[in-house]
Structure 1
């Protein structure tokens, strides 16, 4: 199993799926299967953090560059909120990780907002100024007419 896992992941994955479906669990590569399942869970958390960071970047730009607000920014904010809602609906256990994900994503957003706006990192609040309710609320910051 080890050599197939390392040499041809696609073949390994299909073999493991067939073994599990046929009930031949004793022949399955349980250790690597468990590793891959854990990796999938981490991927869902990364997706949450990426969505939050993209949303925060645009919310910071919206807040700190009001003269540059555009329909594109508004639509990006709305899109990211929709995607966040959907991601959390599909992975409800991630709600327990939301507070930490906000902290991690906000730090990334400061760097991205500074890069995109040309403003100094220190321009932006060091702690996330948005509540969970504002982050997820379609009528929250960034959706003003």
Structure 2
């Protein structure tokens, strides 16, 4: 995909199209396919993820590969928080374990800014990790997209 290509839904967002964009992002990240995920961002995208700054689509791919090599059995749920024009804010939580078998639930917020083609230009993420017991896990669907009937964050009390 080139930067000139379109990635609907396009801004300005309505509630319906913002919800659609959030679910598309969630499904992409749950694929754990760095190249697929990177195509949702502009070539010059700029990120802040925790204390790390990521510039450009190639750096996004490298970042995601590194992330998912450490965050094993990753499962993510995103929820729309707010939207306006070309901006969307989400809250999210994901579960994963490290190579020693310790499980975590990571909670965070993201602010997104899209270009007119619907590609994300900026992504600012704040994330905190909470160690959890395996028995406390709430995301137990098979790898890939969250099933349509699986509860979201609010329904799970998160």
Say which structure is richer in helix.
1
Q: Tell me the TM-score normalized by structure 2.
A: 0.23
Larger Rg: 1
Q: Tell me the TM-score normalized by structure 1.
A: 0.25
